[in-house]
Amino acid sequence: GSDGSASEATTAETTGASETTGGETTGDGTTGEETTGELDLCQDGGPCTPVVVMGYWPPTNEMLRPWSQNPAQNLGAWEGKNWEGRGYDIFAFFPEFPPDGDPSNDPIGAPGSVGADGSDLQVDYQDTSRDFWRIVEEHEPVALVTTSRGGVIGWEVEALEGGHQNPDLPDGPPELDWISDQYGAETFPSESSVDPRTWDAISTYRHGVTLETQLPADAIVEAVSQLGLVSAQLDYGTSGRYLSGFLGLHGLYYNSVTPGNLVAGHIHVGKDVSSVDARVMIEATMRVVLSSLDRARDGG
């Protein structure tokens, strides 16, 4: 899948993982029917099973606002508590892009493109690494969905992450598999500048070595397609060599090393999708995800 921000950083992006899964399907192939499953004690006001959703550039940050606990970001109320009575608390994290909320009119690496200082998940390798691990350590999510802005496809579930290689430096170090974020003193995810777990992820899953999505991908595509808002598809490439792919790889790596994380994966949201439509589609997606969790936790 194409990374909308990466396309502005470079016109020559390649994933370095030309081997795809071909016609193989991913996900559990379920229908995504709305089933609440067995609810736990959170119905009485206690903490529910945690789910985390992350975003980057709009519309992904805008569509996640109701699930943020930050009063400055959630438009007045956190709506993630026991969402729809399903027994899961949804926590959302994303950056802000002052002064106008539109990063696309700022150069790559400029503050308006990277995100405000102090906001979560700036479009920067070091900040994303630091914030990602802080967030998952705090919430220990049973499901982790990462999202970012893509290209012309409206809702693109990514089948793979990792596997990258710099076509100009095929034998180069892991940090140079990635495109410079052009921000700060260190513009690549070097070993000394990122969390050790981040370094393990990008040094392990490269040169064609990938991780497969752990989302119910086919069911998500079906549910979103039925809304009739945008095109939806499962992409058999990766999220690219820029920050989208970096965040997406984090999610699947976390899943691979965390037994309690049952569902994870990345979704690209089209650059022309409205925030309103994106919100409808992320809600439909999360209904599928939570139904999948119910089945997984019930041993189904």
Condensed to tens digits (0 to 9), the pLDDT of residues 30-72 reads 333 333 444 557 878 889 999 999 999 999 999 999 999 999 9
Is the CB of residue 56 less than 8 Å from the CB of residue 64?
no
The predicted pLDDT at position 59 comes to: 97
Find out whether the peptide bond into 99 is cis, omega within 30 degrees of 0: yes
For residue 183, is it within any domain? yes
Q: Does residue 8 surpass a pLDDT of 50?
A: no
CA distances from 85 to 89, 166, 185, 288 (A): 9, 46, 46, 14
Give the mean model confidence (pLDDT) for residues 74-79: 93
Coil, strand or helix at 219 = helix
The predicted pLDDT at position 39 comes to: 56
Number of domains in the chain: 1
The predicted pLDDT at position 20 comes to: 34
For residue 125, is it within any domain? yes
For residue 15, is it within any domain? no
For residue 109, is it within any domain? yes
Q: Does residue 24 surpass a pLDDT of 70?
A: no
For residue 91, is it within any domain? yes
For residue 38, is it within any domain? no
For residue 7, is it within any domain? no
Tokens for 245?
């792919």
Between 300 and 10, whose confidence is greater?
A: 300
The predicted pLDDT at position 23 comes to: 35
Least-confidence region, from 4-8, 77-81, 203-207, 217-221 = 4-8
Q: What is the CATH number of the domain that holds 84?
A: 3.40.630.20
Q: Does residue 178 surpass a pLDDT of 50?
A: yes
What domain range is 105 assigned to?
Answer: 44-297
The predicted pLDDT at position 1 comes to: 66
- How far is it, in rounded angstroms, from Cα 204 to Cα 201? 5
For residue 31, is it within any domain? no
